[in-house]
Amino acid sequence: MSQAPNVPHPGGESPEALALRELIVCWDQAYAALTQGDVDRVQGLMELADEHLATARSGLRLSEDLLREAAAARARLEHGMKGGLEGMAEEIARVRRGGRALKGYAAAGRR
């Protein structure tokens, strides 16, 4: 049974605050999965995080501490993703250099 928005659950937190806590967990777990190279898990967690984000957005009064914790979790994940993208860009550049070298070797062998 669904409760009305901003009505505290028996534990004392609103549905929006609980959703924000779940969002933080998703982002932290996605960061951990990212560090392990588990891209499929990251994708699944990000989809779940989107669902929690939709619920958390409807909260008018969320604690500043909880909002700071969420911002920190999001920042960690973003930093990890950017680092991963930079690493991938470096690897792609290495592959391209290797491709150019192979073309050069092939051209030199035809002479």
Let me know if residue 49 belongs to a domain.
yes
**What per-residue confidence (pLDDT) applies to 11?**
65
Let me know if residue 53 belongs to a domain.
yes
**What per-residue confidence (pLDDT) applies to 59?**
63
**What per-residue confidence (pLDDT) applies to 1?**
34
Let me know if residue 2 belongs to a domain.
no
How many domains does one find in the chain?
A: 1
**What per-residue confidence (pLDDT) applies to 47?**
93
Let me know if residue 29 belongs to a domain.
yes
Domain span including residue 70: 15-109
Question: In this structure, what DSSP letter does residue 8 have?
Answer: P
**What per-residue confidence (pLDDT) applies to 3?**
44
Let me know if residue 75 belongs to a domain.
yes
Q: How far apart are the first and last CA of the chain?
A: 78
Give 10-residue mean pLDDT values along the chain (111 residues): 46 84 94 92 93 79 87 94 89 90 82 70
**What per-residue confidence (pLDDT) applies to 7?**
47
Let me know if residue 8 belongs to a domain.
no
Question: In this structure, what DSSP letter does residue 4 have?
Answer: P
